[in-house]
Amino acid sequence: MWSGDELDLDAYLARIGMGGGGRELRPDLGTLYAVHRAHTGAITFESLDVLFGRPVGLDVKAVEDKLVHARRGGYCYEQNSLLAAALERIGFEVSGRGARNRTRGDALTPVTHAVLVVTVDGQPWLCDAGFGYQGPLEPVPLGDPGAEVRQGEWTYRVREETDGVLVLCFRRGGTWRDLYAFSPQRYHPVDYVLLNHYSSTHPRSAFIGRVIVQHPGDDVRRALVGRELLRLHPDGREERESVGADLLGVLDREFGLRLPERDAAELVRIHRAGD
């Protein structure tokens, strides 16, 4: 399903900091937690190729070349396609879901977010390495709706609505906020190709025409959208600052993202054009 047999698993594990252990990974809950947390810690959420007007490929080799070998980041379709291939290669049962973003108020949004459901010992777990700075660091259990899950300094829960719709919620400054909702319908890689086309080319897509780079840190969570850098603290405090000429320095210091020379020059050109 996810072309895990085509993935260079050793290179992927090295990229996320799990290489060189010499042990065989088993498809158990401990491995799922370790891989998910390592992936979200190592690979930054970013949609810069959309800003550059470049095609975003989702086949395994394209995602591997970009996120693993070139050490770039990616957005949800790339991140979770890579994670799905790795988990499948290890031996997990992985299926896709399509989610509606609920962070933008009460408006009904289209299904544009890709998430994964991984089954371990008969129990389903939500896995998502691609929701940016508010996304989970680790798998979230789906078999016990309403249960609060602590991940470092951050807390999540999943609540159930009608027709089997599940909603991932995030506690922010003492207030629960919906992140996204998804139905039991299974999505396949070909479905993500269609969603990716909309998100990377449609003029109404949130990713068109602006810088978006984010990371869900253990303590401080960071989001760069346009020219504003946001740092979110576990107590709900927000720090905001405008990013000017030091854009590349911010990407390096705040997100661990170092672009190749061509990409860096293109990003600086676009950034300066907005002055």
CA distance 34 to 152: 14
- What are the φ/ψ torsions at residue 108 (nearest 5 degrees)? -75, 115
Indicate if 128 belongs to the active site: yes
Annotation says 127 is catalytic: no
Catalytic residue among 39, 113, 215, 271: 113
The 10 Å Cβ neighbour count of residue 114 is 29
Annotation says 10 is catalytic: no
Which residues of 121-225 form beta strands (DSSP E)?
123-127, 140-141, 149-151, 154-160, 166-172, 175-182, 212-215, 221-225
- Catalytic residue chosen out of the listed positions 128, 169, 215, 271: 128
| Residue 144 DSSP class | S
- Residue 103 has, within 13 A of its CA and on its CB side, a CA count of 17
The catalytic residue among 49, 76, 127, 271 is 76
Instruction: Point out the residues that are catalytic.
Output: 76, 113, 128
